[in-house]
A and B are shown apart, each in its own frame.
Chain A
């Protein structure tokens, strides 16, 4: 039973590997970026688990902006992938511009979150409403 599942797993892994190497290079670059972004987010979570979550603003802004760039990169990949028939004629450049706007927004919001910590955190414990 164990042998067959490990053989299954190996088969799975090999066929995945072979299928994946067939993807075009620019998509692979985007994939690398996604993995990097998610990895950064995980490192931040681990750091928070070690050091503690104060100030929460910075933690959230850091993690969410990493997740945000990962998600936006995946969106870009989807729209650029020629095999997705729903996105016709958009091309790399067109969607890249939209993505740039989204990333700029993400960066601004990140900055706002981080700067907000000075004002927010001192008052935040008392601002919770009593329900």
Chain B
């Protein structure tokens, strides 16, 4: 650290270093205190590093606790409720029951094989932490463990980021990377306390796998390669995004082979990781045999075989020492290898044995694919392409430190820096295609930006510390600070250079402090809302909490028969099963498009047709979410067009233009008759026509859409209202049994 010459840098024993220091009397004082201070520089550095890391660890944890402090310790959003329910099941019934669980409470009447269709990493991790705590006699509830799993693993990620930064550049970059990733909003958004989702552990596993693999490539040791195989196994067990690893690592190997940086270490590292990692990954039932059958994993296998051929040729070349013979051999081998490989791939793909890229990942390569072919994937707001504002919001200064860091990486190319550059570029491309993937790009962006910051600060401070008159160009390399306009390239006088360096350092620290302020503000305002509890400011500035969701789910839990079946849109399925403890028709897993389309059709049909569909599905209760009274805009009426599109995708009788007027979606008097009389409209606006929602507006004024509704006189024939929550956000209806035939 720094440019200071340290005579005790070798950590030699005290007596020796004392002897060495007698040679430089001008730096020493004869007093004991200075000598002891000098001796401890190495320890001072260690102390500094450990304390910084400790502080960063604590910071990463506490930055994510906003919602726990403001509301309560509860699980957020939708998907985490499913994870919570499965974790609860795991801790109550044990691993065997969990692994073989068939759940009949969701996707009625089909059921769902939960044991075979989930990624168990998160649940097993939380259960292990829970059992460890219980073993240590801390009897916490499993919900607390679930809520705090994400911040805990975020702290662990900062430690891994430190080691990774140390591997790529040096300890300074590692420390900066740890600090940046601790508060980066791109990561916080999915790992805040209460967001008990796969990404919470997956990012930790991702970074760990990459770090272990880079370490394996650097040292060529089998132990590190083994470690990276285990890291990969953890990643596969945690998240479906492991496909990124299994494609990035072979791509990296390919780049190394092409650029001529191959070595035996690379061979050892990749082979061990691929074979063992693949075998381990197949233990997860949800992944199954995809590593040998799916098109998304064929890249890795191709690179594996290519490597064998490549290194075999290299070995033969080394054995032969004769170029002419080798050329012949080369020709024969390469042509036969390409032929065999091509034939195998062709046969596999044509016969359908190797399945093509699934829709979810194909839409990453072709972003327009989902919109035309798979409306369910297109409807999720997280899958939309990213706007520039999102990038700025989630990365702030890292956005322009990233190119600066790339520059530094290219200046000092090594196996590790090539890897981080590739990781950064590929992940940023995918982050541009889908908002959700900003999370995957965050570690790369933080690491590369850390390189820029660390290298710049190092150059500047070394400039400040040199007492010699060797002029070094004091201009920074690429830091976008406004003060860089005062580019100091004067060679003649030292003070100006030093002043310039000080000014630039102040600029850098100012930027970093603004980053910290921005991150804290973003976390507090945007990413700490539980989504299940809504808050708003009242007329006098006081805070009003809308707890309608949980109110409705608990009403269901306590006032309906235990075998009641609830129909709602798929967003709320997990929450209904977890909190309401009732069987649902469709939920967030969205594995069966036809079933969801059936529900969509029921919601968009007239009441009679919908009643037939509901009778066929044995539905007892219908749940809708309505934001007209509170102005809540993520309600079912705003999602209605997606229901129409998904339903229409399977049942051509539902046509989207029927619900629009001149291509416009309206709910007021000018809306289409089909819209005014469909089931969803009726259920949402039943008895709403009598309600005054806003002072000075007519009755039945919908505050979310900003219009007065068109059909105020709604009569329901086959359903009756069972419950409406206090702010009319959730409305539950009971399906009446058929009338007696006379």
Contacts and interface: CB of A to CB of B under 8 A. Distances in A.
B271 interface: yes
B321 interface: yes
A71 B271 contact: yes
Contacts of A105: 226, 229, 276
A9 B113 CA distance: 58
Interface in A90-131: 95, 98-99, 101-102, 105-106, 109-110, 112-113, 116, 119-120, 123-124, 126-127, 129-131
A118 B717 CA distance: 52
A113 B328 contact: no
Contacts of B221: 98
A116 B100 CA distance: 12
Closest 4 CB pairs of A and B: A98-B222, A19-B319, A127-B116, A75-B268
Contact of A130 (B226, B263, B282, B591): B591
A86 B592 CA distance: 53
A96 B346 CA distance: 40
B646 interface: no
Nearest to B115: A123
A95 B591 contact: no
Interface stretch (B82-90, B283-291, B442-450): B283-291
A127 B272 contact: no
Contacts of A126: 113
B94 interface: no
B271 A16 contact: no
Interface string B262-287: 01110110011001101110110110
Interface of A: 5, 8-9, 11-12, 15-16, 19-20, 56, 60-61, 64-65, 67-68, 71-72, 74-76, 78-79, 84, 86-87, 95, 98-99, 101-102, 105-106, 109-110, 112-113, 116, 119-120, 123-124, 126-127, 129-131
A47 B494 CA distance: 79
B400 to A, nearest CB: 38
B20 interface: no
B258 interface: no
A20 B319 CA distance: 7
B222 A64 contact: no
B316 A124 contact: no
B516 interface: no
A68 B113 contact: no
B285 A19 contact: no
Contacts of A120: 285, 288
Q: Is the interface of B mostly helix, strand, loop or mixed?
A: helix
Contacts of A123: 113, 116, 285
B222 A79 contact: yes
Nearest to B316: A16
A19 B276 contact: no
A65 B288 contact: no
B593 A130 contact: yes
B325 interface: yes
Contact of B320 (A19, A64, A127): A19
Q: Interface majority SS on A: helix, strand, loop or mixed?
A: helix
Contacts of A11: 325
B292 interface: yes
B278 A64 contact: yes
Contacts of B229: 105
Contacts of A56: 289
Interface residues of B, number: 47
Nearest to A22: B319
B226 A60 contact: no
Contacts of B321: 19
A78 B113 contact: no
Contacts of B592: 130
Contact of B265 (A12, A64, A86, A109): A86
Contacts of B359: 131
A98 B322 CA distance: 36
B100 A119 contact: yes
21 contacts: A9-B328, A12-B320, A12-B328, A15-B320, A16-B316, A16-B319, A68-B275, A68-B279, A71-B272, A72-B272, A74-B271, A75-B268, A75-B272, A78-B264, A79-B220, A79-B222, A101-B226, A123-B113, A127-B116, A127-B117, A127-B288
Contacts of B279: 61, 64-65, 68, 106, 109-110, 113
B95 interface: no
Contacts of B104: none
Interface in B278-308: 278-280, 282-283, 285-286, 288-289, 292
A87 B264 contact: yes
Contacts of A64: 275, 278-279
Nearest to A56: B289
Contacts of B113: 123, 126-127
B118 to A, nearest CB: 11
A79 B322 contact: no
Contacts of A74: 267, 271
Q: Which residue, of B99, B117, B229, B325, has the highest number of chain A Cβ atoms within 10 A?
A: B325
B289 A112 contact: no
Given A71-B271, A126-B113, 18 more contacts: A8-B325, A15-B325, A20-B319, A60-B292, A71-B275, A78-B268, A87-B264, A98-B221, A102-B272, A109-B279, A110-B279, A113-B282, A113-B283, A127-B117, A129-B591, A130-B593, A130-B594, A131-B374
Contacts of B288: 120, 124, 127
Contacts of B222: 72, 75-76, 79, 95, 98-99, 102
A86 B261 CA distance: 13
B59 to A, nearest CB: 36
Interface in B309-328: 316, 319-322, 325, 328
B223 interface: yes
Interface string B98-131: 0110000000000001001100000000000000
B24 interface: no
B71 interface: no
Nearest to A65: B279
A5 B113 CA distance: 60
A117 to B, nearest CB: 11
B271 A124 contact: no
A12 B272 CA distance: 31
A130 B264 CA distance: 42
Contact of A84 (B100, B264, B322): B264
Nearest to B269: A75
Contacts of B271: 71, 74-75
A107 B169 CA distance: 37
Most buried by A among B272, B286, B592, B593: B272
B329 interface: yes
Nearest to B102: A123
B241 to A, nearest CB: 16
Contacts of B320: 12, 15-16, 19
